[in-house]
Structure 1
Amino acid sequence: MKPILIFLGIFLIFLGFFLITLGMIIPDKNVEKNENIEYSGIIFIGPIPIVFGNSPYLIIISLLIFLLMIVWILLAFKIGNIK
């Protein structure tokens, strides 16, 4: 594997952790305390996805992202001949 890709992958992981931490530390001044916040997500336990959330629209978006990820992984295996 190319060392630049390994470095880029590790860098993107650390950048993601940094941005998530920064988002938790810096408060958003546009959000009021009593405002309803919508959320959704997918957790994988083995091959079984568990979908949760309080907004039907965001749950559908999460499922679409999940399907795109699966297609992307299958294409990577097909194109890259990964076994």
Structure 2
Amino acid sequence: MKLIYAGIGLIFLGIIILTLASISSTTVSTTTNGGFAGVVFLGPIPIVFGAGNPSQLPYLFIFGILFTIIALIFFVLPWIIGRKAKYP
């Protein structure tokens, strides 16, 4: 039950952080180029998208690959541990 409250609290904390970030980034200087970029994970598969500044792409690919490796570890590790526990 405590984990449910912790999860709900983290969701609200994330919403507050996103709101504050969007409010603080409303002032844009005239020398910057607009654009957007992001990584969406469907299971352990990253999908990188974006438009605008192409210098962000290498960082997004590194971010995607790193979190794909982490996600695969978290998907496979319980299976390996569970298999070893069944057969001593």
Tell me which interval the TM-score lies in, with the shorter structure as reference length.
0.5 to 0.7
How far apart are 1:49 and its partner, in Å?
2.4
Alignment of 1:16-27 (within 5 A): 16-26=14-24
Structure 1 segments unaligned to the other structure (5+ residues):
none
Structure 2 stretches lacking a partner, 5+ long: 81-88
TM-score by length of 1: 0.62
Question: Is the 8 Å Cα contact of residues 53 and 59 (structure 1) preserved in structure 2?
Answer: no
Q: TM-score, normalised by structure 2?
A: 0.59
Task: Select 2:65's aligned residue among 52, 57, 67.
Answer: 67
Which of 28, 32, 38 aligns to 2:29? It is 32
Deviation of 1:45 after TM superposition, in Å, equals 7.4
Aligned CA-pair RMSD: 3.3
As a proportion of its length, which structure holds more helix? 2
Distance of 2:46 and 2:14 partners within structure 1: 25
Larger Rg: 2
* Equivalenced residues, count: 80
Q: Partners of 1:32 and 1:18 in 2: how far apart?
A: 25
Structure 1 partner of 2:39: 42
Structure 2 distance, partners of 1:69, 1:6, is 24
